[in-house]
Amino acid sequence: MTSLTLRRPDDWHVHLRDGAALAAVLPFTAAQFGRAIVMPNLSVPITTTALAEGYRSRIRAALPKGAHFEPLMTLYLTDSTTAQEIDRAKAAGFVHGVKLYPAGATTHSNAGVTDLGRLSGVFAAMESAGMPLLVHGESTAAGVDVFDREQVFLDQELAPLCTRFPGLKVVVEHITTAHAVDFVRGARAGIAGTITPQHLLHNRNALFTGGIRPHYYCLPILKRERDRQALLAAAISGNPRFFLGTDSAPHERGAKESACGCAGMFTAHAALELYAEAFESAAHLDRLEGFASHFGADFYALPRHADQVTLVKQNWTAPATYGFGAGRLVPYRAGENISWRLAKGAGP
């Protein structure tokens, strides 16, 4: 196949940051996707509808001229989130999910939740409002191995929560293991999972190829080859519980190439192209449209887009860096070949 036309896709999990960083990365996402679920983990987390409204305005103001892109806002759940805030968010109309970061699990998660048991009123309000819970599913317990954190969280925390609130919509975000694939596939109705391009394309060996590779470090961390294969099988399966969420998470070069480097991979410059590579590797490009453009919209009860994008089979070399405010951003595949390219002029 040399070209592939599909309904315009959405990114159901992205980090757009703020200020100069936002201005640097937003055009990449807006060029490909019609909408994106925007993560709330700014240095001052987006914990209220009022903060989400301000952030949404800044995103819209940073859009390139002529772009048709809708940021779908999220709230950052804390120990002190109230049911009233959920009702406010629902009434506002532009908040599409509430993000659960276990405290300390990842970048800017210090304000996250320490005890799910204390938030019953909030989960009940979300359940009745039809407000999805977006989960960074990793245990932060000190004794849990970094490669087991997802499994432990799903089994010990998320499974009981899903039982206690049987009508709560839940997205297990950026799933990374065969265990999480089974969890989502076998769960009750209303539970879905997003999958990143890096977890479809790499196993954890990528972190250590010839030396330590900070640009392959993200959370949840890359897992074993059998996990990658299970994720790829889920993505191409046509099961609507699995859909696209890049988790593109830019950090300035110095923050990655450091003695204590940040977690996060920047993939937004080639997001759809990377998914196309993964689906092509499994001989199922025909399943990309459902995964990228249908199932997420259906889960979030939003209309599928009316327009289309076209990918062409064409080699190009990703730049070594992009501008990123006063610094530089090293993209995934920096200086390396990417074998698909979004056709120019595909916009609405």
Q: Which residues bind ligand NCD (CB under 6 A)?
A: 15, 41, 106-107, 136, 218-219, 247, 249, 263-264
Provide the 3-class DSSP secondary structure of residue 71.
strand
Q: Tokens 């479809």 — which residue?
A: 200
3-state secondary structure of 86: helix
Residue number, 216 or 242, with CB nearest to ligand NCD: 216
- Tokens describing residue 218: 């993200």
Nearest to ligand NCD of 221, 346 (CB atom): 221
**H/E element, 323:** strand 322-324
Is the CB of 81 or the CB of 196 nearer to ligand NCD? 196
Using the minimum distance from each CB to ligand NCD, give the nearer residue, 263 or 346: 263
Amino acid letter, residue 78:
T
| Chosen from Zn ion, ligand NCD, none, partner binding at 107 (C-beta under 5 to 8 Å by type) | ligand NCD
Interface with Zn ion (CB under 5 A), residue from 157, 247, 273, 289: 247
Cβ at position 29, least distance to Zn ion in Å: 13
> CB of residue 101 vs Zn ion: minimum separation in angstroms?
9
| Contact between 171 and 195 (Cβ < 8 Å) | no
Q: Which does 41 bind (CB under 5 to 8 A by kind): ligand NCD, Zn ion, none?
A: ligand NCD
158 binds, among Zn ion, ligand NCD, none (CB under 5 to 8 A by kind): none
In this structure, what token pair is assigned to residue 102?
A: 């276990």
Three-state SS sequence of 107-165: CCCCCCECCHHHHHHHHHHHHHHCCCEEECCCCCCCCCCHHHHHHHHHHHHHHHHHHHC
HSE-up (13 A, CA, CB side) for residue 11: 30
- Residue number, 16 or 152, with CB nearest to Zn ion: 16
Whole-number minimum distance, CB 172 to ligand NCD, in Å? 13
- Please tell me the count of residues contacting Zn ion according to CB under 5 A: 1
Q: How far is the CB of 157 from ligand NCD (least distance, A)?
A: 16
- Contact partner at residue 264 from ligand NCD, Zn ion, none, CB < 5 to 8 Å by partner kind: ligand NCD
Q: Which is nearer to ligand NCD, 274 or 311 (CB)?
A: 274
CB of 332 to ligand NCD, least distance (A): 12
Sheet holding 191-195: strands in order across?
Answer: 11-14, 35-38, 70-76, 95-100, 133-135, 170-172, 191-195, 242-244
User: Which residue among 10, 11, 227, 247 is the active-site one?
Assistant: 247
CB 271 within 8 A of CB 277: no
- Say what the alpha-carbon torsion angle 17, 19, 50, 102 is, to the nearest 10 degrees: 30
- The least distance separating ligand NCD from the CB of residue 116, rounded to whole angstroms, comes to 18
- Partner whose footprint covers residue 157, from ligand NCD, Zn ion, none (CB < 5 to 8 Å by kind): none
Q: How far is CA 192 from the centre of its chain?
A: 13
Cα distances from 180 to residues 64, 101, 153, 228, 266, in angstroms, run 37, 17, 10, 11, 23
10 flagged as catalytic: no
Q: Which of the stretches 93-101, 209-217, 243-251, 321-329 binds Zn ion when contact is defined by CB under 5 A?
A: 243-251
Q: What are the residue numbers of the active site? A: 247
Q: Which residues bind Zn ion (CB under 5 A)?
A: 247
